[in-house]
Structure 1
Amino acid sequence: MRIPPLYRRPAWQRFFAGMAIGGAISWCIFLYIYGVWQEENTELLRKQQQEIVDLNNEKKIWQEEYKEMNKRNIEQLTVQKINIKILNAEKYKLDSLSVLETEDSVRDDIDMMLAKDLETVYKSKDLLKKIIENKPIKINDKRYKLKVNELVIFTNLTIQLEIQFE
């Protein structure tokens, strides 16, 4: 079997040469288009990865800030401190040590309200008043009783008292 002598005909030679050149050109065009496409996708992936990193960092910052705000809100919604003030101690000529001891005694009696939420303290305000008013105080061999003049319930529980003879 023999190969036909097509190499002698210029039309066939041009056809095969055109096929070879066309194949090479189409291969170059394919590589160029595929390279450009890969480059665009690579750049898009880089941008998206950077955006993901930025968003994760931002999310962490927001989460930390959210946790910090929750801690502050929890602190703000509980009783942090109890302030007690006796208003009319001068009327009975009581020394400041006796007044301070009386205030500390009352503070010790209602210490259970520390770190309680404001709603619980508000619901038990009548109990607080009864605890304070029903306790007799003995100062300089005289018996006194306390009367709640003002009760302010917030993060600082403020109680203003008046002292009276029993």
Structure 2
Amino acid sequence: MRVPLLSRYRYLQLLLAGIVLGVCMSWLLFLFMFGTIQEKQTRTIEEQQNKIAEMKKTLSIWQEDYKELNKKNQEILTVQKLHIKIVHNKKYQIHETQSIFEAQEAIKEDLHMLLAKDLASIYKNRELIKKIIENKTLRINDRRYRLQIKEMYFYTTITAILELKLAE
């Protein structure tokens, strides 16, 4: 027995050749399209990486400048406000808030020279400030009181929490 010749089945040859040629062309078309898309993706990723690198450099420059400015600003901080609070006024039966308010204003008046001064120099002279406050004698309801510093904070707002004591 013998295998039949393919030359007899010409349409089968054309069909197989068409299939092989179609597969090859579609594969080449797929490779071209996929390669083009991948090339665009790669280019986009490279551009984004370059932008990120530039932004990181810019960010580091801004952060360094910001840190330097903060250091300079902290060196030249000035006092903006004075906040005085007197506590334990109930112990001596002082119920008038007006009297306490006037006492606080008198102390603020004594310390008004500290406003707009450099914070570092004020902190160096904190003992002098404490003596100014503690040597102050107040008259409330015909009694003489002295102040004792309970707490004192130095920043752009000087905060002093004072306690009333009877003067001797």
Query: Structure 1 length as normaliser, TM-score?
Result: 0.55
Following superposition, the deviation at residue 89 of structure 1 comes to 1.1
1:97-155 CA deviation, whole Å, 9 max, x = no partner?
A: 00000000000001100001110110111011100111111111100000011110000
Following superposition, the deviation at residue 73 of structure 1 comes to 3.2
1:74-117 CA deviation, whole Å, 9 max, x = no partner?
A: 7x711000000001112112110000000000000011000011
Q: Tell me how far apart the structure 2 counterparts of residues 155 and 149 of structure 1 sit (CA, whole Å).
A: 19
Q: Tell me how far apart the structure 1 counterparts of residues 112 and 137 of structure 2 sit (CA, whole Å).
A: 18
- The equivalent residue for 1:100 is 101
1:31-54 CA deviation, whole Å, 9 max, x = no partner?
A: xxxxxxxxxxxxxxxxxxxxxxxx
- The equivalent residue for 1:132 is 133
Count of residues in correspondence between the two structures: 100
- The equivalent residue for 1:90 is 90
Q: Tell me how far apart the structure 2 counterparts of residues 108 and 151 of structure 1 sit (CA, whole Å).
A: 17
Q: Tell me how far apart the structure 1 counterparts of residues 157 and 87 of structure 2 sit (CA, whole Å).
A: 18
Q: Tell me how far apart the structure 2 counterparts of residues 151 and 139 of structure 1 sit (CA, whole Å).
A: 23
- The equivalent residue for 1:161 is 162
SS for the counterpart of 2:91 is coil
Aligned amino acid, residue 91 of structure 2: K
Query: Structure 2 length as normaliser, TM-score?
Result: 0.54
Q: Tell me how far apart the structure 2 counterparts of residues 82 and 136 of structure 1 sit (CA, whole Å).
A: 19
Q: Tell me how far apart the structure 1 counterparts of residues 81 and 73 of structure 2 sit (CA, whole Å).
A: 16
Gap runs ≥5 in structure 2: 1-61
Aligned amino acid, residue 77 of structure 1: L
Describe how 1:4-153 pairs up with structure 2 within 5 A.
73=73, 77-94=77-94, 95-153=96-154
Q: Tell me how far apart the structure 2 counterparts of residues 143 and 91 of structure 1 sit (CA, whole Å).
A: 14
Q: Tell me how far apart the structure 2 counterparts of residues 141 and 108 of structure 1 sit (CA, whole Å).
A: 21
- Report percent identity of matched pairs: 45
- Larger mean CA deviation between 98-107 and 76-85 belongs to 76-85
Aligned amino acid, residue 73 of structure 1: N
Which aligned runs of 4 or more in structure 1 are off by greater than 6 angstroms? none
